[in-house]
Amino acid sequence: MVYDLLDRLFVLIGPVPEDSYLITASTKAGIDSLERSVRGLSADMRDCLFSHVFDYISSRFSLTGKGMNINATCASSAIALARGASLIELGRADSVLVCCFDLVAEYVFSGFCALQAMSPAPCMPFDRNRKGMNIGEGAAAVLLMSPERAKREGRSSLGTLAGWAVSNDAFNITAPDIDGRGLTPAVRKALQMSGITEDAVSAICAHGTGTVYNDAMELKTFRKVFGNRTLPVFSVKGAIGHTMGAAGGIEAVLCLKSLKTGIIPPTAGFKEPDTGAEGLVSNEPAIIPCNYMLSTNSGFGGVNTAIILGKETMS
């Protein structure tokens, strides 16, 4: 199916409507409370439950609508955005609040160390000498709304969510399919949904964890979909670390800012391009006109997401 961008949903500025459908996205919720409890320190064990975090946010915004939590490892918040967009597309909601968050805890740190995925130095996404990832923490809140309601309420828009897709390569519990056989169809499906061609994408915000297999998989995917184009590819994880379940949401917000300013962020830590990164990744910012940007995320269990973000189209 092909859709007109102007008929898609908007990412908005302003107060959150009380009837908004709430989607939270997190991989571990308040896991630090469990660690404190094990050490005999005071802790509110309710924080460990996704439902408690969901109830807190719902109460904070006096929300009366329904909701859910998405726990899909490092693609959690990207899937939450896709899920919220789908609810609006299907007419099951006209306002969706997506809140994503994850924090650094010993449990998370130890787990990635056990997988030998951590870099002993600042991570170097898409660099031939990369040695792994760094953990970061953060949160983002994104309000999605149907164009009809947004216009009716006179809302200002940060941009549009023009297309989205989710796939699973069913390859390995922790490693991606190195040939991108999961991410590639997700990117193509998202492009098809947005109604734009590959040439309309101005830049790519990659998952770019700095691990050997993830970065190689993404570069292969981008070459498959976009051919030999030299469109900019960047990762923010060299600057802010891998924020796990919050990554896709944070990166979507950064993409919207990039679309507005026309400034493509640099990839911190990048020095020597790995095979396939030549001419795509840079440690310097670039200024180019942007109308559409692709954001990709992947996670354990073979999950892959692709989101097409568009420049703001309403005032």
Tens digits of per-residue pLDDT, 236-271?
A: 999 999 999 999 999 999 999 999 999 999 999 999
Q: What value does the mean pLDDT take over residues 90-95?
A: 95
Examine the pLDDT at 193 and tell me if it is beyond 50. yes
Confidence of residue 91 (pLDDT cuts 50, 70, 90): very high
Fold of 5-311: Peroxisomal Thiolase; Chain A, domain 1 (3.40.47)
- Distance of alpha carbon 293 from alpha carbon 227, whole angstroms: 16
Res. 80: pLDDT tops 90: yes
Strand order in the sheet with 21-25: 67-70, 21-25, 95-102, 138-145, 9-13, 156-168, 303-311, 292-299, 203-205, 233-234
Q: What is the pLDDT of residue 11?
A: 60
Instruction: Give the pLDDT band of residue 8 (cuts 50, 70, 90).
Output: very low
Residue 5 has pLDDT above 60, yes or no: no
Q: With bands split at pLDDT 50, 70 and 90, how would you rate the model's confidence at 6?
A: very low
pTM metric for this prediction: 0.92
The span from the CA of 289 to the CA of 262, in Å, is 5
Span 276-304, average pLDDT:
95
Identity of the residue numbered 91: G
Confidence of residue 10 (pLDDT cuts 50, 70, 90): low
Contact in structure between 22 and 58 (CB atoms under 8 Å) = yes
Element at 158 (helix H, strand E): strand 156-168
As annotated, the active-site residues are: 74, 207, 242
Residue 238 is predicted with a pLDDT of 96
* pLDDT for res 9: 54
